[in-house]
Amino acid sequence: MSLPKPARVLIGIVAMAAFVGVVLLVLVRHAGGWGVPYFSFTSDRGSPCKNTLTGYVCTPLDLADVEYWADVELPGSTVVKEGTYTATHDYQLSASLLVPAADADAALKSLQASFGKCGSAPSPIDTTGLKSVCVMANDDAVTQSDQASSRLWVVGTGRTADGNLVVGMTIKSR
């Protein structure tokens, strides 16, 4: 016994719609990871990102992404107050961090190992109420090997009254 023709047509339409729905679900679920513009994805280290026509933007950033893109090791207690990573044919990382007083010295040592000694460049952070302000920058310098660095950075630090280390960084590709 076969089903009447209208029932078979209805079952066929439902089956095709279900197939198209499953395919669309898979496409939408993975489109961000494939780089489709305006679809979201999560970076390998956990920050939410969104594709644009020319690249992608990640914000807010987590500590793992700041460490990865800034190429610096920071204490695990470091808090990312705000951060944005923009990648097109170039990239830019902007982040504001707060390191608790107990880990402030270790963080400053690590930052200076990655970005050099304190200099006289303008600070990228508001230094009102901060002491021991330090600015590390290479925006007008050539490295010791007489080769221009592949990236420009300005990293500013300062201590709050309770000893916490405030860090502001901007890193751009050249």
Residue 106 within any structural domain of the chain: yes
- List of residues 6+ apart from 90 with CB closer than 8 A: 172, 173
Pairing of strands 79-87, 151-159: unpaired
Residue 133 within any structural domain of the chain: yes
Tokens of 134: 């330090």
Residue 3 within any structural domain of the chain: no
Count of structural domains, the chain: 1
Residue 94 within any structural domain of the chain: yes
Q: What is the DSSP letter of 163?
A: S
Q: How much is the average pLDDT of 68-91?
A: 95
CA 150 to chain centre: 18
- Alpha-carbon distance of 153 to 70, in angstroms, equals 9
Residue 27 within any structural domain of the chain: no
Q: Among residues 83, 114, 115, 86, which one has the least CA distance to residue 97?
A: 83
Residue 154 within any structural domain of the chain: yes
- Alpha-carbon distance of 42 to 45, in angstroms, equals 8
pLDDT in tens, 3-25: 899 999 999 999 999 999 999 99
pLDDT in tens, 94-145: 999 999 999 999 999 999 999 999 888 888 888 889 999 999 998 655 555 5
Q: Which domain holds residue 109?
A: 65-173
Residue 157 within any structural domain of the chain: yes
Residue 88 within any structural domain of the chain: yes
Integer Rg of the chain from CA? 24
